[in-house]
A and B are shown apart, each in its own frame.
Chain A
Amino acid sequence: MSLDVQNLVVAYRTLRGDVRAVDDVSFSVADGEIMGLAGESGCGKSTLGNSLVRLDRTMRCLGGRALLDGTELPLSDWDAMDDFRFKKVSLVPQYSMSALNPTRRIGKMISEVVRSRKIRYKDVLPELERRLRLVGLPTDVLAKYPIELSGGMKQRVVMVLTTLLDPSLLVADEVTSALDVSTQRAVGGMLVELRDMGIVTSTIVITHDLSVLVQVADSVVVMYAGKLVERAPTATVVDAPRHPYTKLLIASLPEVGVRYAEHVLAGIPGHPPSLLDPPKGCRFADRCPLASAECAVEPPLVELESGHFVACWKAS
Chain B
Amino acid sequence: MLNLENLSKSFRGGSFGSGAVPAVRQVSFSIAPGEVTSLIGESGSGKSTIGKMILRLLPVSSGRITFDGVDVASLEGSALKEYYRKVQGVFQDPFSSFNPVFRADRIFRMLEREYFGDLGAREWSAKLHTSLEAVGLNPADVLGKFAHELSGGQLQRLLVARALLLDIEILVADEVISMLDASTRVDVLNLLAGLKERGLGVLFITHDLSLGHYISEHTVILRRGVVLEIGETAKVFGNPQHSYTKMLLASVPRLHSHWEPLEPGEPARTGPRDAPRGRGRRARGQPLEPVPLLVEVEPGHLVAFEDGGTATAGDER
Contact = CB atoms under 8 A, between A and B. Distances in A.
Contact of B214 (A215, A248, A259): A259
A125 interface: no
A253 B207 contact: no
Interface string B229-270: 000000001000000000111011111101100100001111
B182 interface: yes
Name, among B183, B186, B251, the residue most crowded by chain A CB atoms within 10 Å (CB to CB).
Answer: B183
A185 B215 CA distance: 24
B99 interface: no
A147 interface: yes
A182 B255 contact: no
Contact of B254 (A150, A153, A239, A255): A255
A227 B215 CA distance: 33
Contacts of A180: 42-43, 207, 271-273
Name, among B184, B207, B214, B252, the residue most crowded by chain A CB atoms within 10 Å (CB to CB).
Answer: B214
Interface string A235-248: 00011000000001
Contacts of A277: none
Interface range, B side: 35 or more
Contact of A181 (B151, B193, B207, B255): B207
Contacts of B277: 148-150
Contacts, number: 148
A258 B213 contact: yes
A210 B193 contact: no
A208 B249 CA distance: 20
A238 B186 CA distance: 18
Interface residues of A, number: 47
A235 to B, nearest CB: 10
A207 to B, nearest CB: 10
B213 A257 contact: yes
B254 A256 contact: yes
Contacts of A182: 42, 247-248, 251, 267-268, 271-273
B271 A260 contact: no
B253 to A, nearest CB: 4
Contact of A256 (B43, B210, B273, B274): B210
A256 B271 contact: no
A105 to B, nearest CB: 14
Contacts of B237: 256
Contacts of A248: 183
Interface of B: 42-43, 151, 153, 181-187, 189-190, 193, 207, 209-211, 213-215, 237, 247-249, 251-256, 258-259, 262, 267-278
29 contacts: A40-B181, A41-B181, A147-B278, A150-B276, A151-B273, A180-B207, A180-B272, A181-B253, A184-B253, A186-B268, A189-B269, A208-B182, A211-B254, A212-B253, A215-B253, A238-B255, A249-B183, A253-B182, A253-B255, A254-B211, A254-B214, A256-B209, A256-B252, A258-B213, A259-B213, A260-B214, A267-B184, A267-B185, A267-B187
Interface of A: 40-41, 136, 144, 147-153, 180-186, 188-189, 208-212, 214-215, 238-239, 248-250, 252-260, 264-268, 271
